[in-house]
Structure 1
Amino acid sequence: MILRVFIAVFALLLLISATLLVVIVETTPLVTTRASEQVNDADTVNALLSQLQQSIKNRDESQTLVITEPQLDSLVGFIQRAAAGFRGKVNVTPSASMLAVSLQLPYTAGQGWLNLSVTLLPGKEVKVDQVSLGDLQIPGGLALRVLEWLVNVWTDSDIASYARQQVRGITMTDEDITVRLAPLEGLLRRLNEVKNGLTVEQDTELRDLTAYYLRYISWQDLSLDSTPQSLASYMQLTLARAAARSNPDTAVQHNKAAILALAVFVGHHRIANFVGDIQPDADRALRPARPAHLAGREDLARHFIISAALKVLSEQGVSLAIGEFKELMDRAMGGSGYSFVDLAADMAGVEFARVATDPDLARQVQAVIAANREEGVFMPAIEGLPEGLSKAEFEREYKQVDSDKYLQEVAEIRARLAELPLYATSP
């Protein structure tokens, strides 16, 4: 009797699951917009970042954020370039704004898609009209309450409920969404409490190794020297130490830690937020006396080592998309302009992290870097690569990312990288 009940329940669950799959999985994507077109307005995101910075600075005052459709679409386009199988589109109107997302399912040969659309309404609070998942229609209020409950449960707090209550009004036009917020002080304080109390899976070995290499490099003479030092010198000392402390079985983990420590030390101290509590003094981040340089430029050293760290922490597509998006933002008035030189440093950093974390190459990379202080070992030549392009100049010359001429420049960088023995080496 019990066996028959179990079989019946199992069959019912199987039938429900199969029905849901039929309803929500579709053979074509809802979104067909190309990311290369969306990120063309990436320079508009600078204004949004400026608003957010001011809101945090004036956290004791009520805030009004104006978010334009190009800004939202650019951010969605960035995600699309970073994550394969993701497509998104934002449409803003005075009566409602919709976010549409298409996610390609793995192992379906491009024939399986999850299509999600969310419609946000103007009003005195956050109000969702409806949520569509394939052919399944979910009332917006129900979807919002379920999401709020899930976030609260996951964080063991009421942060989602509190955040929703901070919204004092949403208005829309054909071009933007205006969100009125209560003072952010309380929300920021609660977010910090949630972050400190949230238990997430963490690689404690990598965290501790990174903390070790961060302290090690900070004690070296070149870190205290008032004369700017090459990134190659920092890499040589750190990778030599990694070689001395590791063996063929542990070399990858030590190389990852060395890259992350260098990114925190000479790149940006906030990279530590992705690793854990690694600073000896929580109120004073370790950093060199003078910024490191690469090809005589501080910005290239940061581009290289931060991209390497992002590769360690994420997928390659994310690392390159971040670098590319940053260059597109720099085309705005007052920015440094689009730079294929910066992009070359980003791509070199990703390549370095790739070989340094390859189990068959990790020890070899340690030996090569430990024996050299030459930047040309890991950074390709940058002569002749265009940079400083304004948005108008970029569009006139390349039209958009992924155009044939743009891809030719990227191919040139890849060719220069391939000429370096460190990156051409195969296990």
Structure 2
Amino acid sequence: MSILRTTLLVLLLALPLAIAAVAWAVLSDRPAVDRPVAFTPAHVERAREILRRHDPRWLPVGVPRTIGLAAEDVDLALNYLADRHAGASARVVLRAGTAVLTATLPVPPNPLGRFLDVTMVLREGATLPVVESMRLGRLPVPARLARPVFDEALRRLVTPEGYRVAVEAVRKVAIADRGLAVTYVWQEGLASRLRAELVPAAEQARLRAHHERLAAIVGAGPRGRPIGLDALLGPLLGFAAQRSEAGDAVAENRAALLVAAFYANGRGLQVLVPAARGWRPSAARAVTLAGREDLAKHFAVSAAIAAHAGVPLSDAIGLYKELEDSRNGSGFAFDDLVADRAGTRFGELAAGDRASAAELQRRVAAGLGGADLLPPVDDLPGPMPKDAFERLFGGVDSPAYRGVMDDVERRIAALPLYR
């Protein structure tokens, strides 16, 4: 009996020491990867071109196709997903046949370290890459244990159904120094499955509730008369606040902003939710901000993107749109960028976390006007074609351009709603 007691005592004493030893081996005070997510207009343009060439609506069924992804874009996408889903930083280095993934995750406060570094080496497989080795900090992990960890991480990043669709569609992922070549075969029904995963049933119900509220708002005013974006967002955020009492303020705000963005741009939600064709129709009214429809569109879309996908992507899309307009459209316009940046800030507050979401609802409930959403823009340099923009500002990296954008940021920061 004494031997048993002694053994149990040793085990009880050894277990905490073993746990501490493992924690010491895997945790550190210095992150292996610490980098912001930084999109540029060039990234947006490349993504847009890939989506254009591989639009599911026009893909032939059963025909192999290949997507080429540059190493820079793969690295950016991994870092973005790590940041959005885990508050982590990540990096991927591609070599012929292999990819080295490194991610740093923050951990709760403890005396042994603030960060967990994960390094994983993947090699080409018959279809998807397979795990060759893995380390948690300085601790090696057997490949047989690492592989299910990698599969679970993929499911969390792209959702379980998205992972299943990828497994069914992808035929080969070839890894080279310059990027990835993903060969896939589109199959009947995959588009509807992905759409259902993108907007699950609970989110569809939430969007329908906000759509019904929007239909009531626009239907209460004179038919055909413009409505201010503030007159739309105020009641929608008030409705979101009511639903948040028994729900999630972030999710409610996101739904409200998405519904407002689609309406302001004259688009129906059936693009995302086919069932929306059967929802209550909304009276057609132009949505304005500072008396202009274009500013309302810029604000509403940027707010929805920031709330759903984050600030860096929203900023890059806004700048890309202005550069594209300077080449082929109405011209580069700083007032549009102000609306983009203000909308991004609004979306950031609406969905940053539950406290921020609830605080924005409270501020909006106190009263909302167009001047609360957007600072004065009439004195900013007006729309200009590409050659005029480059002659006056030299480009988006020039001191002259940065000076105007610094002024833009000061104007937005001065509005009480965004403090």
The CA deviation at 1:282 is: 4.8
SS at match of 1:214: helix
How do 1:212-227 and structure 2 match up within 5 A? Answer: 212-222=212-222, 224-225=223-224
* Matching residue of 2:232: 234
Counterpart of 1:183 (choices 167, 181, 186) is 186
2:67 equivalent among 47, 65, 68: 65
Whole-angstrom CA distance in 2 between matches of 1:310 and 1:10:
52
Q: Secondary structure at the match of 1:219?
A: helix
Note if contact 2:218-2:285 (Cα within 8 Å) is conserved in structure 1.
no
Q: In structure 2, what is the equivalent of residue 95 of structure 1?
A: 97
Q: Secondary structure at the match of 1:177?
A: strand
Give the alignment partner of residue 338 of structure 2, picking from 336, 344, 356: 344
Structure 1: which 5+ runs fail to align?
A: none
For 1:230 and 1:423, locate their aligned partners in 2 and report how far apart those are by CA, in whole Å: 19
> Structure 2 counterpart of 1:345, which letter?
A
Contact 2:65/2:184, CA 8 A, preserved across alignment: yes
- Quote the offset at 1:131 in angstroms: 3.0
Q: Which amino acid aligns with 1:214?
A: L
Q: Which amino acid aligns with 2:179?
A: D
Equivalent of 1:171 in 155, 164, 174:
174
Distance 1:323 1:110 in 2: 37
Structure 1 window deviating more from structure 2 (129-138 vs 333-342): it is 333-342
**AA partner of residue 384 (structure 1):** L
d(CA) in 2 for partners of 1:110 and 1:308? 40
Looking at structure 1, the residues matched to 280 and 23 of structure 2 have their Cα atoms a distance apart, in angstroms, of: 50
Compute the displacement of 1:72 (Å).
Answer: 2.0
Q: Which amino acid letter does the alignment assign opposite residue 365 of structure 1?
A: V
Equivalent AA in structure 2 for residue 65 of structure 1: I
The structure-2 alpha-carbon separation of the partners of 1:92 and 1:283, relative to structure 1 and needing over 3 Å to count, comes to: farther
Question: 8 Å contact 2:134–2:141 — kept in the other structure?
Answer: yes
Q: Deviations over 1:278-329 (max 9, x none)?
A: x984556855525523345544323323444566x56xxx642232121354
Q: CA deviation at 1:39?
A: 4.0
For the residue of structure 1 that corresponds to 2:22, the secondary structure is helix
Q: Which residue of 2 aligns with 1:304?
A: 299
Which stretches in structure 2 are left out of the alignment for 5+ residues?
A: none
Q: Tell me the residue number matched to 2:317.
A: 326
- Partner of 2:289, secondary structure, is coil
Distance 2:105 2:113 in 1: 11
Per-residue deviation at 1:345?
2.0
Specify the code of the residue in structure 2 equivalent to 1:344. Answer: V
Select the residue among 30, 33, 48 that pairs with 2:32. Answer: 30
Please tell me whether the aligned partners of residues 25 and 137 of structure 2 are also in contact (alpha carbons under 8 angstroms): yes
Determine the structure 1 residue equivalent to 2:53. Answer: 51
**Structure 2 CA distance for aligned equivalents of residues 158 and 242 of structure 1:** 31
- 1:380 pairs with 2:379: no
Shift of residue 22, structure 1, vs aligned partner? 1.9
Query: How far off is 1:180 after superposition?
Result: 1.0
SS at match of 1:126: coil
Cα deviation per residue 1:147-174 (whole Å; 9 max; x = unaligned)? Answer: 4468889999887466325322222333
Shift in alpha-carbon separation, 1:220–1:347, aligned structure 2, 3 A: same
Change (3 A) 1:97 1:153: closer
**Residues 37 and 312, structure 2, Cα contact 8 Å, conserved in 1:** no
Q: CA deviation at 1:209?
A: 5.7
Cα shift readout 1:111-141 (whole Å, capped 9, x = no counterpart): 6322223333234311223333322334556
- Structure 1 segment 78-227 matched on structure 2, within 5 A: 78=80, 86-105=88-107, 107=109, 112-128=114-130, 129-140=132-143, 142-148=145-151, 160=163, 163-191=166-194, 210-222=210-222, 224-225=223-224
CA distance in 2, matches of 1:132, 1:155: 23
User: In 2, are the aligned partners of 1:41 and 1:70 still within 8 Å (CA)?
Assistant: no
**Counterpart contact for 2:302–2:318, Cα < 8 Å:** no
**Does the C-alpha gap of structure 1 residues 397 and 138 become closer, same or farther in structure 2, counting only changes over 3 Å?**
same
The correspondence for 1:416, drawn from 386, 405, 411, is: 411
Other-structure match for 2:260: 262
SS at match of 1:124: coil
Alignment correspondent of 1:365? 364
**Residues 343 and 103 from structure 1, CA distance in 2 versus in 1: closer, same or farther, beyond 3 angstroms?**
farther
| TM-score w.r.t. length of structure 2 | 0.69
CA pair 418-261 structure 1, distance change in 2 beyond 3 A: same
SS in 1 for 2:287: coil
Work out whether residues 82 and 320 of structure 1, in 8 Å CA contact, stay in contact via their aligned partners in 2.
Answer: no
Q: Structure 1: how far apart are the matches of 2:402 and 2:101?
A: 29
Q: Deviation of residue 67 (structure 1)?
A: 1.0
CA change 1:10–1:349 in 2 (3 A) is farther
Superposition RMSD in Å: 5.2
Q: Percent identity?
A: 22
Given residue 380 of structure 2, which amino acid in structure 1 is its aligned partner?
Answer: G
Q: How much does 1:58 deviate?
A: 0.9
1:339–1:387 contact (8 Å) kept in structure 2: yes
Letter in 1 for 2:186: P
Structure 1 position 358, deviation (Å): 7.1
